[in-house]
Structure 1
Amino acid sequence: MKARSTILRIVGAGAVAAALTWSAVAGGVIGEAGTEGIQTKSIADEGPGYAVEDFAYPNADKILAEQKIKLKSGNGHILLAECTGAPELMEVFSHVNEKVCFRVTGDKGYLSLEIPAVFGVKGNDYAARVDMSAGAEEKTFNVDKNAWTAVGETADDQGRDFMLLEIRTSK
Protein backbone atom coordinates (compact mmCIF):
# COMPACT_ATOMS: atom_id res chain seq x y z
CA MET A 1 0.00 0.00 0.00
CA LYS A 2 2.85 2.34 0.81
CA ALA A 3 4.33 1.78 -2.67
CA ARG A 4 0.99 2.57 -4.28
CA SER A 5 0.63 5.90 -2.47
CA THR A 6 4.20 6.83 -3.43
CA ILE A 7 3.44 6.11 -7.10
CA LEU A 8 0.22 8.16 -6.92
CA ARG A 9 2.13 11.12 -5.41
CA ILE A 10 4.78 10.93 -8.15
CA VAL A 11 2.17 10.71 -10.93
CA GLY A 12 0.17 13.54 -9.38
CA ALA A 13 3.23 15.78 -9.06
CA GLY A 14 4.16 15.04 -12.68
CA ALA A 15 0.64 15.90 -13.88
CA VAL A 16 0.71 19.21 -12.00
CA ALA A 17 4.16 20.06 -13.44
CA ALA A 18 2.97 19.20 -16.95
CA ALA A 19 -0.15 21.33 -16.56
CA LEU A 20 1.87 24.32 -15.35
CA THR A 21 4.35 23.94 -18.21
CA TRP A 22 1.55 23.68 -20.77
CA SER A 23 -0.18 26.71 -19.28
CA ALA A 24 2.99 28.82 -19.49
CA VAL A 25 3.77 27.78 -23.07
CA ALA A 26 0.21 27.96 -24.43
CA GLY A 27 -0.52 31.23 -22.67
CA GLY A 28 2.61 32.90 -24.08
CA VAL A 29 3.72 34.18 -20.68
CA ILE A 30 6.79 33.89 -18.56
CA GLY A 31 6.97 34.18 -14.84
CA GLU A 32 9.17 36.57 -12.89
CA ALA A 33 9.76 36.17 -9.21
CA GLY A 34 8.44 39.22 -7.43
CA THR A 35 7.98 40.26 -3.85
CA GLU A 36 4.31 39.31 -3.97
CA GLY A 37 4.54 36.00 -5.79
CA ILE A 38 4.73 35.40 -9.53
CA GLN A 39 3.96 38.20 -11.97
CA THR A 40 3.39 37.54 -15.66
CA LYS A 41 3.96 39.56 -18.78
CA SER A 42 3.33 38.89 -22.43
CA ILE A 43 6.37 38.05 -24.54
CA ALA A 44 4.63 39.29 -27.71
CA ASP A 45 4.56 42.85 -26.38
CA GLU A 46 8.36 42.99 -26.48
CA GLY A 47 8.98 41.48 -29.93
CA PRO A 48 9.89 43.54 -32.99
CA GLY A 49 7.07 44.87 -35.13
CA TYR A 50 6.29 43.61 -38.60
CA ALA A 51 7.65 45.35 -41.68
CA VAL A 52 4.94 45.63 -44.31
CA GLU A 53 6.01 46.73 -47.80
CA ASP A 54 3.52 49.12 -49.37
CA PHE A 55 5.62 49.65 -52.52
CA ALA A 56 5.31 53.43 -52.14
CA TYR A 57 7.92 55.36 -54.12
CA PRO A 58 10.69 56.70 -51.85
CA ASN A 59 10.82 60.51 -51.41
CA ALA A 60 7.69 60.91 -53.53
CA ASP A 61 6.57 64.07 -51.69
CA LYS A 62 9.91 65.78 -52.28
CA ILE A 63 9.93 64.81 -55.97
CA LEU A 64 6.37 66.14 -56.38
CA ALA A 65 7.29 69.45 -54.75
CA GLU A 66 10.50 69.92 -56.74
CA GLN A 67 9.72 68.37 -60.13
CA LYS A 68 5.88 68.25 -60.30
CA ILE A 69 5.99 64.49 -60.91
CA LYS A 70 3.68 62.36 -58.77
CA LEU A 71 5.33 58.97 -58.23
CA LYS A 72 2.92 56.64 -56.45
CA SER A 73 4.17 53.07 -56.24
CA GLY A 74 6.03 50.38 -58.11
CA ASN A 75 8.13 47.26 -57.84
CA GLY A 76 11.48 49.09 -57.75
CA HIS A 77 12.52 48.26 -61.32
CA ILE A 78 11.56 51.61 -62.90
CA LEU A 79 13.34 54.48 -61.19
CA LEU A 80 13.38 58.22 -61.84
CA ALA A 81 16.79 59.13 -63.25
CA GLU A 82 18.72 62.19 -64.36
CA CYS A 83 18.32 62.73 -68.11
CA THR A 84 21.85 62.24 -69.44
CA GLY A 85 21.01 61.05 -72.95
CA ALA A 86 22.22 57.53 -72.11
CA PRO A 87 20.61 54.96 -74.45
CA GLU A 88 19.46 52.73 -71.56
CA LEU A 89 17.10 55.42 -70.24
CA MET A 90 13.41 55.62 -71.09
CA GLU A 91 12.45 59.24 -71.84
CA VAL A 92 8.97 60.71 -71.35
CA PHE A 93 8.10 64.05 -72.95
CA SER A 94 5.47 66.32 -71.46
CA HIS A 95 4.33 69.90 -72.04
CA VAL A 96 4.50 70.43 -68.27
CA ASN A 97 7.73 68.61 -67.33
CA GLU A 98 9.61 68.73 -70.66
CA LYS A 99 11.67 65.52 -70.41
CA VAL A 100 11.52 62.98 -67.57
CA CYS A 101 13.82 59.95 -67.61
CA PHE A 102 13.61 56.52 -66.03
CA ARG A 103 16.17 53.78 -65.50
CA VAL A 104 14.71 50.29 -65.99
CA THR A 105 16.19 47.19 -64.35
CA GLY A 106 15.20 43.56 -63.78
CA ASP A 107 12.99 41.37 -65.92
CA LYS A 108 9.70 43.17 -65.24
CA GLY A 109 9.05 46.70 -64.09
CA TYR A 110 5.96 48.56 -62.89
CA LEU A 111 5.49 52.17 -61.87
CA SER A 112 2.27 54.00 -61.01
CA LEU A 113 2.64 57.76 -61.43
CA GLU A 114 1.06 60.94 -62.75
CA ILE A 115 2.73 63.11 -65.37
CA PRO A 116 0.33 65.50 -67.13
CA ALA A 117 0.28 66.43 -70.84
CA VAL A 118 2.52 63.60 -72.09
CA PHE A 119 2.93 63.47 -75.87
CA GLY A 120 5.90 61.17 -76.55
CA VAL A 121 8.01 58.36 -75.13
CA LYS A 122 11.42 57.15 -76.25
CA GLY A 123 11.84 53.48 -75.42
CA ASN A 124 14.98 51.61 -74.43
CA ASP A 125 15.95 47.90 -74.70
CA TYR A 126 12.82 46.83 -72.81
CA ALA A 127 9.37 46.12 -74.20
CA ALA A 128 7.20 48.82 -72.64
CA ARG A 129 3.57 49.80 -72.33
CA VAL A 130 2.15 53.04 -70.93
CA ASP A 131 -1.37 53.56 -69.63
CA MET A 132 -2.75 57.07 -70.00
CA SER A 133 -6.00 58.95 -69.51
CA ALA A 134 -7.75 61.95 -70.99
CA GLY A 135 -10.63 62.75 -68.68
CA ALA A 136 -12.60 59.53 -68.14
CA GLU A 137 -11.10 57.80 -71.21
CA GLU A 138 -8.12 55.50 -70.69
CA LYS A 139 -5.77 54.29 -73.42
CA THR A 140 -2.77 51.97 -73.53
CA PHE A 141 0.14 52.58 -75.88
CA ASN A 142 2.93 50.13 -76.72
CA VAL A 143 6.31 51.86 -76.73
CA ASP A 144 8.77 50.92 -79.49
CA LYS A 145 12.17 49.65 -78.34
CA ASN A 146 14.96 52.23 -78.73
CA ALA A 147 12.71 54.57 -80.73
CA TRP A 148 10.26 57.42 -80.34
CA THR A 149 6.59 56.55 -79.95
CA ALA A 150 3.74 59.01 -80.33
CA VAL A 151 1.44 58.74 -77.32
CA GLY A 152 -1.24 60.91 -75.75
CA GLU A 153 -1.89 64.17 -77.58
CA THR A 154 0.21 63.27 -80.65
CA ALA A 155 -1.62 59.94 -81.10
CA ASP A 156 -5.10 61.33 -80.39
CA ASP A 157 -7.43 62.45 -83.22
CA GLN A 158 -8.71 65.27 -81.01
CA GLY A 159 -5.27 66.36 -79.73
CA ARG A 160 -6.33 66.11 -76.06
CA ASP A 161 -3.92 66.26 -73.12
CA PHE A 162 -3.24 62.84 -71.63
CA MET A 163 -2.01 62.02 -68.13
CA LEU A 164 0.59 59.24 -67.90
CA LEU A 165 -0.65 56.81 -65.23
CA GLU A 166 1.44 53.63 -65.47
CA ILE A 167 4.60 52.30 -67.06
CA ARG A 168 5.11 48.54 -67.45
CA THR A 169 8.29 47.00 -68.83
CA SER A 170 9.59 43.52 -69.59
CA LYS A 171 12.75 42.00 -71.04
Structure 2
Amino acid sequence: MKTRKMMLRTAGAALGAGALAWLAVGGGTSFVSTQERPAAMAVVAEAGPGYAIEDFGYPNADRILVERGITLKRGDGHITLADCGSATDLLEVWSRANDKICFRVTGIAGYLSLEIPSVFAVKGNSYSATVDMTTGTEEKSFDVNKNAWTSVGESADDQGRDFMLMEIRTSK
Protein backbone atom coordinates (compact mmCIF):
# COMPACT_ATOMS: atom_id res chain seq x y z
CA MET A 1 0.00 0.00 0.00
CA LYS A 2 2.85 2.42 0.85
CA THR A 3 4.53 1.65 -2.46
CA ARG A 4 1.32 2.34 -4.31
CA LYS A 5 0.86 5.75 -2.62
CA MET A 6 4.48 6.61 -3.35
CA MET A 7 3.99 5.75 -7.03
CA LEU A 8 0.82 7.85 -7.24
CA ARG A 9 2.53 10.84 -5.61
CA THR A 10 5.49 10.53 -8.00
CA ALA A 11 3.19 10.28 -11.02
CA GLY A 12 1.16 13.24 -9.81
CA ALA A 13 4.28 15.33 -9.27
CA ALA A 14 5.56 14.45 -12.74
CA LEU A 15 2.23 15.36 -14.36
CA GLY A 16 2.15 18.63 -12.45
CA ALA A 17 5.72 19.49 -13.48
CA GLY A 18 4.90 18.61 -17.10
CA ALA A 19 1.83 20.85 -17.04
CA LEU A 20 3.83 23.74 -15.59
CA ALA A 21 6.54 23.27 -18.23
CA TRP A 22 3.90 23.19 -20.97
CA LEU A 23 2.40 26.45 -19.71
CA ALA A 24 5.82 28.10 -19.40
CA VAL A 25 6.95 27.15 -22.88
CA GLY A 26 3.60 27.56 -24.59
CA GLY A 27 2.76 30.65 -22.60
CA GLY A 28 -0.70 29.24 -22.01
CA THR A 29 -1.68 30.00 -25.59
CA SER A 30 -4.12 27.81 -27.40
CA PHE A 31 -3.50 26.15 -30.72
CA VAL A 32 -4.11 28.40 -33.72
CA SER A 33 -4.08 27.73 -37.42
CA THR A 34 -1.11 28.74 -39.57
CA GLN A 35 -3.11 31.67 -40.96
CA GLU A 36 -3.68 33.07 -37.44
CA ARG A 37 -0.16 32.34 -36.15
CA PRO A 38 2.10 35.39 -35.78
CA ALA A 39 5.20 35.45 -37.98
CA ALA A 40 7.45 34.96 -34.94
CA MET A 41 5.70 31.67 -34.19
CA ALA A 42 5.77 30.32 -37.75
CA VAL A 43 6.99 26.77 -37.96
CA VAL A 44 10.40 26.55 -39.60
CA ALA A 45 9.55 23.29 -41.32
CA GLU A 46 6.87 25.04 -43.39
CA ALA A 47 9.61 26.90 -45.32
CA GLY A 48 11.54 23.70 -46.00
CA PRO A 49 15.22 23.13 -45.43
CA GLY A 50 17.82 25.14 -47.28
CA TYR A 51 20.37 23.52 -49.51
CA ALA A 52 24.12 23.55 -49.03
CA ILE A 53 25.71 23.38 -52.45
CA GLU A 54 29.50 23.36 -52.68
CA ASP A 55 30.70 25.42 -55.63
CA PHE A 56 34.37 24.92 -54.74
CA GLY A 57 34.86 28.70 -54.86
CA TYR A 58 37.98 29.90 -53.05
CA PRO A 59 37.17 31.37 -49.60
CA ASN A 60 37.81 35.14 -49.24
CA ALA A 61 38.76 35.40 -52.93
CA ASP A 62 37.45 38.98 -53.19
CA ARG A 63 39.58 40.16 -50.26
CA ILE A 64 42.68 38.40 -51.64
CA LEU A 65 42.15 40.03 -55.04
CA VAL A 66 42.01 43.50 -53.46
CA GLU A 67 44.94 42.93 -51.07
CA ARG A 68 47.30 40.89 -53.26
CA GLY A 69 46.10 41.23 -56.87
CA ILE A 70 45.62 37.47 -57.21
CA THR A 71 42.39 36.01 -58.60
CA LEU A 72 41.70 32.69 -56.87
CA LYS A 73 38.71 31.05 -58.53
CA ARG A 74 38.04 27.51 -57.38
CA GLY A 75 39.74 24.35 -56.31
CA ASP A 76 39.44 21.16 -54.33
CA GLY A 77 40.97 22.58 -51.13
CA HIS A 78 44.29 20.76 -51.50
CA ILE A 79 46.19 23.78 -52.87
CA THR A 80 45.83 26.85 -50.67
CA LEU A 81 47.46 30.27 -50.55
CA ALA A 82 50.11 30.39 -47.81
CA ASP A 83 52.43 32.90 -46.19
CA CYS A 84 55.82 32.18 -47.77
CA GLY A 85 57.59 32.09 -44.41
CA SER A 86 54.98 29.92 -42.70
CA ALA A 87 56.28 26.45 -43.60
CA THR A 88 58.69 24.43 -45.66
CA ASP A 89 57.74 22.41 -48.72
CA LEU A 90 55.63 25.19 -50.25
CA LEU A 91 55.07 25.60 -53.99
CA GLU A 92 56.47 29.02 -54.99
CA VAL A 93 55.19 31.02 -57.96
CA TRP A 94 57.24 34.00 -59.14
CA SER A 95 55.48 36.79 -60.99
CA ARG A 96 56.68 40.18 -62.21
CA ALA A 97 53.32 41.59 -61.08
CA ASN A 98 53.18 39.98 -57.61
CA ASP A 99 56.71 38.86 -56.68
CA LYS A 100 56.69 35.53 -54.81
CA ILE A 101 53.39 33.78 -54.06
CA CYS A 102 53.35 30.54 -52.08
CA PHE A 103 50.90 27.66 -51.93
CA ARG A 104 50.54 24.83 -49.42
CA VAL A 105 49.76 21.48 -51.03
CA THR A 106 48.06 18.63 -49.13
CA GLY A 107 46.43 15.31 -49.92
CA ILE A 108 47.14 12.90 -52.74
CA ALA A 109 46.09 15.27 -55.53
CA GLY A 110 45.17 18.94 -55.78
CA TYR A 111 43.61 21.41 -58.18
CA LEU A 112 43.37 25.21 -58.15
CA SER A 113 42.02 27.54 -60.82
CA LEU A 114 43.41 31.06 -60.54
CA GLU A 115 44.82 34.05 -62.42
CA ILE A 116 48.28 35.40 -61.72
CA PRO A 117 49.73 37.63 -64.45
CA SER A 118 53.36 37.73 -65.61
CA VAL A 119 54.49 34.41 -64.13
CA PHE A 120 58.03 33.44 -65.14
CA ALA A 121 59.17 30.73 -62.67
CA VAL A 122 57.82 28.09 -60.29
CA LYS A 123 59.76 26.34 -57.53
CA GLY A 124 58.33 22.88 -57.00
CA ASN A 125 57.91 21.08 -53.71
CA SER A 126 57.67 17.35 -52.93
CA TYR A 127 54.61 16.97 -55.20
CA SER A 128 54.52 16.45 -58.95
CA ALA A 129 52.97 19.61 -60.38
CA THR A 130 51.73 20.94 -63.70
CA VAL A 131 50.83 24.56 -64.38
CA ASP A 132 48.62 25.70 -67.24
CA MET A 133 49.26 29.17 -68.63
CA THR A 134 47.93 31.42 -71.38
CA THR A 135 49.31 34.19 -73.53
CA GLY A 136 46.77 35.77 -75.82
CA THR A 137 44.80 32.84 -77.23
CA GLU A 138 47.62 30.31 -76.83
CA GLU A 139 47.61 27.84 -73.94
CA LYS A 140 50.70 26.02 -72.64
CA SER A 141 51.28 23.48 -69.89
CA PHE A 142 54.55 23.18 -67.98
CA ASP A 143 55.64 20.28 -65.79
CA VAL A 144 57.22 21.64 -62.61
CA ASN A 145 60.36 19.94 -61.31
CA LYS A 146 60.10 18.55 -57.77
CA ASN A 147 62.02 20.65 -55.21
CA ALA A 148 63.67 22.70 -57.97
CA TRP A 149 63.15 25.80 -60.10
CA THR A 150 61.30 25.47 -63.39
CA SER A 151 61.26 28.19 -66.03
CA VAL A 152 57.71 28.81 -67.20
CA GLY A 153 55.91 31.55 -69.10
CA GLU A 154 58.08 34.25 -70.59
CA SER A 155 61.33 32.72 -69.34
CA ALA A 156 60.53 29.48 -71.22
CA ASP A 157 59.09 31.19 -74.29
CA ASP A 158 61.41 31.85 -77.26
CA GLN A 159 59.52 35.12 -77.91
CA GLY A 160 59.58 36.24 -74.25
CA ARG A 161 55.81 36.79 -74.17
CA ASP A 162 53.90 37.59 -70.99
CA PHE A 163 51.98 34.56 -69.59
CA MET A 164 49.11 34.32 -67.10
CA LEU A 165 49.01 31.33 -64.71
CA MET A 166 45.54 29.76 -64.95
CA GLU A 167 45.67 26.34 -63.20
CA ILE A 168 47.85 24.35 -60.84
CA ARG A 169 47.47 20.57 -60.58
CA THR A 170 49.45 18.43 -58.15
CA SER A 171 49.81 14.76 -57.31
CA LYS A 172 51.83 12.75 -54.81
Q: TM-score range by the shorter chain?
A: 0.7 to 0.9
- What residue in structure 2 maps to residue 104 of structure 1? 105
SS in structure 1 of the partner of residue 114 of structure 2: strand
CA RMSD, aligned part only?
2.3
Question: In the TM superposition, what whole-angstrom CA distance separates every residue of 1:64-102 from its partner, at most 9, and x where no partner exists?
Answer: 000000000000000000011743100000000000000
Equivalent residue for 1:74?
A: 75
Q: Any unmatched runs of 5+ in structure 1?
A: 1-31, 36-42
Q: What is the distance in 2 between the residues matched to 1:138 and 1:33?
A: 60
Instruction: Tell me how far 1:48 sits from its aligned partner.
Output: 1.7
**CA displacement 1:15-40 (0-9 Å, x = unmatched):** xxxxxxxxxxxxxxxxx6999xxxxx
In the alignment, what sits opposite 2:143? Answer: 142
* Aligned residue in 1 for 2:25: none
State the TM-score, normalizing by the size of structure 2.
0.73
% same residue: 67
Label 1:57 to 1:34 Cα distance change in 2 as closer, same or farther (>3 A): closer
Distance 1:64 1:113 in 2: 11
Return the alpha-carbon distance in structure 2 between the equivalents of residues 34 and 86 of structure 1: 60
Once the two structures are superposed, residues 114-150 of structure 1 have per-residue CA deviations (whole angstroms, 9 ceiling, x without a partner) of: 0000000000000000000000000000000000000
Distance in 2, matches of 1:137 and 1:144, equals 23
- The runs of at least 4 consecutive aligned structure 1 residues that moved more than 4 Å come to 32-35
AA in 2 matched with 1:134: T
Q: How far does residue 47 in structure 1 lie from its aligned partner after superposition?
A: 2.7
Note closer, same or farther for the CA distance 1:34–1:89 as it changes in structure 2 (3 Å cut): closer
Q: How many residues align?
A: 136
Contact kept? 1:95, 1:117, Cα under 8 Å = yes
Structure 2 CA distance for partners of 1:64 and 1:33, relative to 1, 3 Å: closer
Task: Indicate if the aligned counterparts of 1:87 and 1:146 stay in contact, CA closer than 8 A.
Answer: no
Pick closer, same or farther for the CA change 1:112–1:33 going to 2, 3 Å.
closer
CA distance in 1, matches of 2:164, 2:34: 65
Report which of the two has the higher share of strand: 1
Secondary structure (helix, strand or coil) at the match of 1:73 reads strand
